[in-house]
Structure 1
Amino acid sequence: MHPQPLEFGMTAECGLTDNISWWDSDAEATIVLSQPDTDRELWNEFLRGAVESYRRHGVERAIDVAAVRDGADTAMFWATLDSTGRVIGGLRAKGPLLSADDSHATVEWAGQPGLAAVRKMIDDRVPFGVLEMKTAWTTDDRDKARVISTALARTPFHAMTLMDIQFCMATSAPHILERWRTSGAVVAPIAATPYPDERYRTKMMWYDRRTFANHAASDQIPKILREMKTVSAQAGAHVAARAASQ
């Protein structure tokens, strides 16, 4: 038996004047959702951590910090903070995409047989709203990284709630995809691409907020729904406070 597609009615203004945060007891960390212009210092800390993490793994060519530093194409980002306030992981949402040309996936599949399928999957979904999750990283502490990755796998639903869109997509190596699939991501039937180099077989995955419960792990679903309510409530409070001050 499969659960019915879920309907979401909350639409919040995405222009955050303050960040949204909550404690994640599994990761034993605070998750902060914000935007580059709202939290410039936190944004810079997130990028610094991403660059260091990618460099340690020898894939620094996969992140062009100069191109993303101003945050112009970043709808929102997430930073995971330990008990000392140090950023130990995070990711960002790029978009909304207007066409496949806006997606970094077209760069990753350039010259590969799957490029046409990648473009079609994106373009077919653009009318319903598409964000691209990018620049994901975590601490190198293996045990800590596992629980942080599981928490970050729920972040697409925060973005889809705030922006009232249906889809999020991401690309990653298979061992990362397995972690993200716990929250309902579906791996696209497109041949992998050797990106950022021949050591990797990068695949594309999709989140659909209407049908994710058909694919997510049972323990992730209540956490997703709880966090969506938290995000909606805090965003709504920000909007109300802003309106009252005008």
Structure 2
Amino acid sequence: MEAAQLARRATDGPWLEGSWGWRDDATGCRVTASTPQAQPELWEQYLDGAFQSYKRHGLEWVLDLDAVWDGNDTALFFAATDPDGRVVGGTRVVGPLRAPEDSHALEEWNGNPGAAVLRYMIANRIPFGVVEVKSAWANSQEYGSRALSRVLARTALPTMTLMGVQFVMATAAAHVLEQWRSSGGVVASRIPAAAYPNDNYRTKVMWWDRRTLAIHAEPDQFKLMCAEDAVILRRASA
């Protein structure tokens, strides 16, 4: 199947039983997609790494680990492990969203311009399936922020497949989202940046749309995304 056809393929998900994984040749890391319940030890390692990463910037409180530790609000998470088995980065996925209020982004835009537009954007997409990516981190000390960020950015398409949704959304500082554009994410230009988590940051919203990934993603990234997504599709059809 051609890459463009694969990206447009409708999914029958969610396919969340067990775990899914593939290797990234550029970093040598293995990416595992799973649930907190299926991989509790890997989940704890991912959360511990997230805590240490955010703590270096004095932002560990943003993670709200007491609320997310049990994994009940996390439908899916991705963990990148190095050849020694250490978790060096990851993300978690919330959703599919049933209402705009399910999105943490509305809390981030509380009191900031653009909240009404953001609410409309989420509500307009919910009928087609929307999930939100949270708590992304990467060990930049060993791999460089760009290398691992590109790996994690490519999880957008596998997320859509595993969760059976058309849209993925994420919020982050504008300079961070620039590294995620490579996988086809588009910054919501209609929504002004929010001063979150504090006045030192300018947080923006990014959307991935399964129908337009081939248009907006870098060609090399798109090919890798499709190859990694094909791992899921092959196993699901086996």
Q: For the superposition of Structure 1 and Structure 2, which TM-score range results when normalised by the shorter chain? A: over 0.9
Contact 2:169 2:206 (8 Å CA) reproduced: yes
Alignment of 1:5-24 (within 5 A): 6-16=7-17, 18-24=18-24
Any stretches of 5+ residues in structure 1 without a counterpart? Answer: 238-246
What is the deviation of 1:12? Answer: 4.1
What is the deviation of 1:5? Answer: 10
Following the alignment from structure 2 to structure 1, what is the Cα–Cα distance between the partners of residues 99 and 66? 23
**Cα–Cα, structure 1 residues 13 and 170, in superposed 2: closer, same or farther, change >3 Å?**
closer
TM-score when normalising by structure 1: 0.90
Contact 1:61 1:196 (8 Å CA) reproduced: no
Aligned residue for 2:8, secondary structure, equals coil
Following the alignment from structure 2 to structure 1, what is the Cα–Cα distance between the partners of residues 99 and 186? 20
What is the deviation of 1:15? Answer: 3.1
| Count of aligned pairs between the two proteins | 234
TM-score when normalising by structure 2: 0.93
Contact 2:16 2:34 (8 Å CA) reproduced: no
Amino acid at match of 1:88: V
| 1:192-214 C-alpha deviation (Å, 9 max, x unpaired) | 00111111100000000011111
**Cα–Cα, structure 1 residues 186 and 153, in superposed 2: closer, same or farther, change >3 Å?**
same
Following the alignment from structure 2 to structure 1, what is the Cα–Cα distance between the partners of residues 23 and 61? 33
Aligned residue for 2:222, secondary structure, equals helix
What is the deviation of 1:235? Answer: 4.0
Following the alignment from structure 1 to structure 2, what is the Cα–Cα distance between the partners of residues 98 and 13? 15
Aligned residue for 2:198, secondary structure, equals coil
Deviating beyond 6 angstroms after TM superposition, the runs of 4 or more aligned structure 1 residues are none
Alignment correspondent of 1:74:
74
What's the C-alpha RMSD, in Å, of the aligned pairs? 1.7
Percent pairwise identity? 46
What is the deviation of 1:147? Answer: 1.0
**Cα–Cα, structure 1 residues 62 and 24, in superposed 2: closer, same or farther, change >3 Å?**
same
**Cα–Cα, structure 1 residues 235 and 36, in superposed 2: closer, same or farther, change >3 Å?**
farther
Following the alignment from structure 2 to structure 1, what is the Cα–Cα distance between the partners of residues 80 and 222? 20
Contact 2:14 2:161 (8 Å CA) reproduced: no
Alignment correspondent of 1:170:
170
Following the alignment from structure 1 to structure 2, what is the Cα–Cα distance between the partners of residues 5 and 162? 14
What is the deviation of 1:14? Answer: 2.3
